[in-house]
Amino acid sequence: MTGIIDVEAMHDTRPLINRLPGEPAPYYLAGGKGLRYEVDGQLWTVIARSVDTGGSFDAAFILGPRGAAAPFHSLPGHQRTYHVFDGCVQFWLPGRSRVLVQGDSIHVPPEVPVAYRILGHSTRMLFFSAPGGALDVVLDDEAMAQARTEARVHAASGGYGIPADEALLLLPGGAHRHDLEFAAASDEWDDTLPAGAEPYFLRAMTGERRAWPSAINSFAARGRNTGGRYFSVLTNAAPQPYIGRHFHEHHTENFFCMAGRVWLYANGDEVLLTPGDFLHAPAGTIHAFAIERHDTRMLGMLTSDVFEPFFDVTADATDDHVYTEGLINPDTFMARLAAHAADLDVVQVGPPPVRNRALDL
């Protein structure tokens, strides 16, 4: 990322609002914004492309009705994670299957086949793939251009848009279709991250957990699981003020609101994230966040994995699945941060921002 992004210049780049930049830059997308495509009864809303992220990742929201599906397929060069934001969806890996609900996820390494079928009406899930390029087809392919739509909800009756099989053939880098048996779903409770880069299911608020003041952070993927491409953390938190303004030199942060409200400060601008909203903060973006509502859930997807130790050295390991209000002295957190800041790719640049919007919320 540092070879592509001018970190100093990024300090002064104001975030774009509700549009993709076409180059690495901070931007905010409200739920439903992005490039939208009709794919076999599903609405794909592309929220990040390789050209927007300096080649580090692609991302899209998939919204579909009960019965919409994707057949077994694999991508040779991409690490993929699917997070369920709303509804219910059944996923398959070779020889196993799970039914996933809000907050649950599945990780799919390169070459591993995956399939899914949506079980609940208006189910929404996040598709995240690294490195960038898996969605490059949406930029210039004629068939995908014909699948473009201005709709923000899937059609009332399914079976519209480009067929799934045809869409898979358009994916770059040698996507493969697989004819595999669909195993019966198991109710096994998947709560452990594997030791390496292998496929796995993970239930919400499980994995490796770290406790902060009035917050708990759950690793949904660590660098060892993604070949170092990214890691992800699901934060469940009580209301708390802005943290100090800072930036990163070597990694990008991506903030997704799953529940509640999150204020994000980015290069002088302030935006409010509600469920389904997204903010992209490339290396060099001066930013901070504040939690606005009780039981807020924020998903962070960070590329690459260089910032992962931050959560290990500033927080305490815990077996709890929810936060305890006031569990840790905030001064302890700040002391740990100061002691390790030189090794954590975090540059503090000032005190917390002052809220200036919607002060009556």
Give the C-alpha separation, 359 to 226, whole Å.
40
What's the CA gap between 58 and 61, in Å, rounded? Answer: 11
pLDDT for res 3: 42
Mean pLDDT for the stretch of residues 33-60:
93
Alpha-carbon distance values, 335 to 205, 307, 315 (Å): 26, 18, 11
Residue 191 scores a pLDDT above 70: yes
Which amino acid does the sequence have at 123?
T
The confidence score (pLDDT) of residue 326 equals 74
Of 212-216, 281-285, 341-345, the least confident: 341-345
Look at residues 172, 241, 231, 203 and name the one whose alpha carbon lies nearest to residue 321.
203
The token duo for 272 is 């409010």
Write the DSSP symbol of residue 9: H
Q: Is the pLDDT of residue 330 over 60?
A: yes
Average pLDDT over residues 128-147: 81
Tokens standing for 165? 């099989």
Euclidean distance between CA atoms 76 and 137, whole angstroms:
16
Contact 121, 137 (CB under 8 A): no
290, two tokens: 């504040």
Per-residue pLDDT, averaged over 88-99, amounts to 98
Residues 127-150, mean pLDDT to the nearest whole number: 82
Residues 257, 238: Cα–Cα separation, whole Å: 14
- Percent of the chain with pLDDT strictly greater than 90: 70
3-state secondary structure of 280: strand
Classify the C-alpha dihedral 300-206-59-67 as positive or negative: negative
Chain length of the chain: 361
pLDDT at 140 over 70: no
Q: CA angle, corner 235, sides to 352 and 51, nearest 5?
A: 80
> Among all chains, which residue has been given the structure tokens 């399939």?
115
Paired residues of 74 in beta bridges: 176
For residues 348-360, average pLDDT: 84
Place of tokens 């994916």: 171
Mean pLDDT computed over 302-316:
92
Write down the mean pLDDT value for the chain: 90
Q: Is the pLDDT of residue 144 over 60?
A: yes
Q: Is the confidence at residue 154, as pLDDT, over 90?
A: no
Collect all residues with Cβ–Cβ distance below 8 Å to 206 and sequence separation of at least 6.
190, 191, 192, 218, 321
Span 296-311, average pLDDT:
94
Burial of 36 (0-12, 13-18, 19+ CB in 10 A): buried
Please give the pLDDT value at position 141: 67
- Amino acid 192: pLDDT: 96
Q: Is the pLDDT of residue 4 over 70?
A: no
Beta bridge partners of 201: 106
Residue 154 has, within 13 A of its CA and on its CB side, a CA count of 24
* Statement: the pTM of the whole predicted model exceeds 0.85: yes
Residue environment code for 155-171, b if the CB has 16+ CB neighbours within 10 A, otherwise e: eeebebbbebeebbebb
List the domains of the chain with CATH numbers: 34-177 (2.60.120.10), 204-350 (2.60.120.10)
- Averaged over 32-46, what is the pLDDT? 92
State the pLDDT confidence band at 172, using cuts at 50, 70 and 90.
Answer: low
**pLDDT band, residue 2 (cuts 50/70/90):** very low
Mean pLDDT for 117-129 is 96
Task: Give the pairing type, strands 200-202 and 208-212.
Answer: unpaired
pLDDT tens digits for 260-275? 999 999 999 999 999 9
Confidence check: pLDDT of 320 > 50? yes
| Mean pLDDT value across residues 78-87 | 96
CA 307 to chain centre: 15
Give the up-direction half-sphere exposure of residue 184: CA atoms within 13 A in the CB hemisphere. 2
